[in-house]
Amino acid sequence: MSKLFLQRHLKSQWNLEDRFAGWTNAPIALESLDTAKVVSDRLVGEKIDIVFTSPLIRNMQTVLEIFNHFNDGRYPFFIQLDSGKMKEWGNFIDIGDNDVNTYVSESLNERYYGELQGLNKAETKKKYGEEQVKLWRTSYTDAPPGGESGQDVYTRVIPFFKEYIEKELEAGKNVLVVSSHHPLRAIVKYIDNIPAEKMAEVEIPFAGLLTYEFNEGAYTIVLK
């Protein structure tokens, strides 16, 4: 049996300003850093064999903050996955026994919000109407202008999940995935077989953690 940890990133500065962050690279908000220890405490006793994240700063910074609070010598070693090929960020010769391979892929990026990226959400509601903005944010099939729908995110994330992450779970490894809201929701949809019309009800808060046990191809949620 192995475990899958789905961790949403700490709140970024643009999240704090209530902007559509999407693929932009706003760092973690300073006042959110205190949350890192809370997140780390939930994971500190767990054996984490491998980590997957995206190149967005808020995701990679969350990984670093989690490991910084472990205080047991474990540390992430970032490896970029590009078109199915590994590109090492560093020299593998000097990797320590406590370094945890952390694979980075744009496949785990947040939903691309197109023309809405960077806009304040309240101002966007005034411009387009509250119902339209709500539809863009929560509908599984409707995409904002020039952006991705929830279905587009699912189509991007799940093949990567099956090829890389699920393969590690099948090999008996415990996997930590640190990502943004919509990629994590896509994984939850796949794992729990959630119908598209129910996806608006799936919410993972900032710094939220979901834990699943994986055994013989089946996932079971672990309640904490």
List 9, 65, 148, 182, catalytic entry: 9
What the block records as the tokens of 93 is 């010769």
- Annotated active-site residue 9? The verdict is yes
The dihedrals phi and psi of 176, each to the nearest 5 degrees, come to: -105, 125
- Annotated active-site residue 181? The verdict is no
- Which amino acid makes up residue 2? S
Residues 6+ apart with CB under 8 A from 186: 150, 153, 154, 156, 157, 158
List 110, 148, 166, 168, catalytic entry: 110
Residues taking part in catalysis:
9, 110
